[in-house]
Structure 1
Amino acid sequence: MRTTILLFFCITTIATQAQIKNTTAVTGILGAFGEEIKYLLTQVQQQKETVIQQVHFTEGILQGKKVVIAQTGIGKVNAAITTTLMLEHFQPRAIIFTGIAGGVNPVLQPGDLVIGTRVAYHDYGAIVPDSIIRKPTRNPFTLSENPLYFTCDSALVANARIIGNSIPLEKITRSTGEQAPRIITGTIVTGDVFVSSNKAAGDLVQQLQADATEMEGAAVAQVCWQQKTPFIVIRSMSDNANNNAHTDVAAFYQIAARNSAKFVMAILEYPAAP
């Protein structure tokens, strides 16, 4: 009798633990450098920190949702490494990348925000005279070709679009006065370079129909794509990736990083959030 009761208790405990695990699935949030995740970390409750391969992961509750947050470091390789570690050790149901970017779409100004609908590399392919031929990456294990543009999760994009119509973000002080950030959906391109050139910014628009450029998103997207994990990239503009980019990024990166983080929090708060 005791054996039967003990066996029933063990089975019940295992089942209960499985139910808890299934109902508290975590959402992964990544940013490249400290300022991009700083605001989020100030809002996380019940924090627990885990260090894996020198990467700090902070678990906790944000907007009533279980999250794990990490700083990837700048650049594609750093982003891919941290994304892989997060997927392996925390099995997030989705990954959200947050941070700043250069707005190459002429309608964008520092402080405006792009909800990524698709993400691509702008520096992968072949250099030929006077041009770069962009090519898709390839899964080295299946040998299948990845898409040139990695598509962000449609449900996450749909939620973000709804949120974008109502979220009150910090206003940006520009030469024309204080303005609320413009929020658009669009294409975000990634490369291991800080773009600070009128010509280069124009080329990204013409050749890749880019709206914003940064240094991590496509690497995160490729890892998530190959591991079949939903993802979205949210970027707030710190500059226009033009000849004045270094000056603008110094002036706007902090408020841009906060607004991107606040937008991510609104995504988590949305009823259909991951």
Structure 2
Amino acid sequence: MNTPIRPLGVLAALPQELGDLIAAMQAESGVVTRTFGKRDYHLGTVHGAPCVVTLARVGKVAAAATTSALIHAFDVDAIVFTGVAGGVGENVHVGDVVVGETLLQHDMNAEPLFPRHEIPLLARSRFDADRALADALAAACERFIAEEGDALSAQFGAALPRLANARPGLHRGLVISGDQFVASAAAVGALRALLPDALAV
């Protein structure tokens, strides 16, 4: 008896970040949508892989609640959070791709009871992604850039002059998250000073 393949959970904060994926699922297998906890979970396949795709909405609490549902109600095998991020690393440019290998909450501060960024009672501030999944995502991103990089440069080169002469870059490492919108050079500079290895927020 074959064990069924458990689906991959895919989350995003904004609807625009999932539209193409849901359309691809619809074209490949059709989509079944289930509503659970005021979220729509879209079930289907992409490139033959079963997926559950949903909009987490904005914020760490929303992401945590949606992740819990993916695990407990949909029995996903793994979870990927995808979408637009802000570049923090000095060499991360608009249009580049960042694959998170480690996550830290930059706005967690329970001092003086715990060190800054440490999650109370867990004795750690950095959480590692699944290495095999991060490697597979990075390899897929490398293939995507190799296959689509020139078309992306042509499409967005006028708006992003750097892309007129270079393909998007791929970066792997620390992604940081917080319940605030980072929208100024001063805020990015403060994060760089505090967490110099951070690539994106």
- 1:202 & 1:177 partners in 2: Cα distance? 24
CA shift, 1:157, in A, is: 1.6
Going from structure 1 to structure 2, the CA distance change for 1:127 and 1:199 (only over 3 Å counts) comes to: farther
Which position in structure 1 is the counterpart of 2:175? Answer: 188
Q: Deviations over 1:203-244 (max 9, x none)?
A: 22222221100xxxxxxxxxxxxxxxxxxxxxxxxxxxxxxx
- 2:49 & 2:23 partners in 1: Cα distance? 15
Whether 1:68 aligns to 2:52 is: yes
Letter of the structure 2 residue corresponding to residue 25 of structure 1? R
Q: Deviations over 1:82-115 (max 9, x none)?
A: 1111111011110011001000112111111101
Secondary structure of the structure 2 residue equivalent to 1:82: helix
Which structure dedicates a bigger proportion of its chain to helix? 1
Which range is displaced more, 164-173 or 201-210? 164-173
99, 107, 121: which is aligned to 1:123? 107
68, 72, 83: which is aligned to 1:99? 83
Q: Deviations over 1:57-102 (max 9, x none)?
A: 0001111011100001111111111111111101111001100100
Secondary structure of the structure 1 residue equivalent to 2:173: strand
- Percent of aligned pairs with the same amino acid: 27
CA shift, 1:135, in A, is: 2.9
Whether 1:163 aligns to 2:116 is: no
- 1:201 & 1:27 partners in 2: Cα distance? 32
CA RMSD of aligned residues (A): 1.9
Report the TM-score when normalising by structure 1: 0.63
Which position in structure 1 is the counterpart of 2:118? Answer: 136
Letter of the structure 2 residue corresponding to residue 175 of structure 1? P
List structure 1 runs of 4+ shifted beyond 3 angstroms.
none
Secondary structure of the structure 1 residue equivalent to 2:63: helix
CA shift, 1:151, in A, is: 0.3
Task: Give unpaired runs (5+ residues) of structure 2.
Answer: none
CA shift, 1:127, in A, is: 7.3
Which of 1 and 2 has greater Rg? Answer: 1
Q: Deviations over 1:224-274 (max 9, x none)?
A: xxxxxxxxxxxxxxxxxxxxxxxxxxxxxxxxxxxxxxxxxxxxxxxxxxx
Give the length in aligned residue pairs: 185
- 2:71 & 2:175 partners in 1: Cα distance? 22
153, 158, 161: which is aligned to 1:175? 161
Which position in structure 2 is the counterpart of 1:151? Answer: 128
Letter of the structure 2 residue corresponding to residue 210 of structure 1? A
CA shift, 1:25, in A, is: 1.1
- 1:38 & 1:147 partners in 2: Cα distance? 35
Q: Larger RCO: Structure 1 or Structure 2 (Cα < 8 Å, ≥ 6 residues apart)?
A: 1
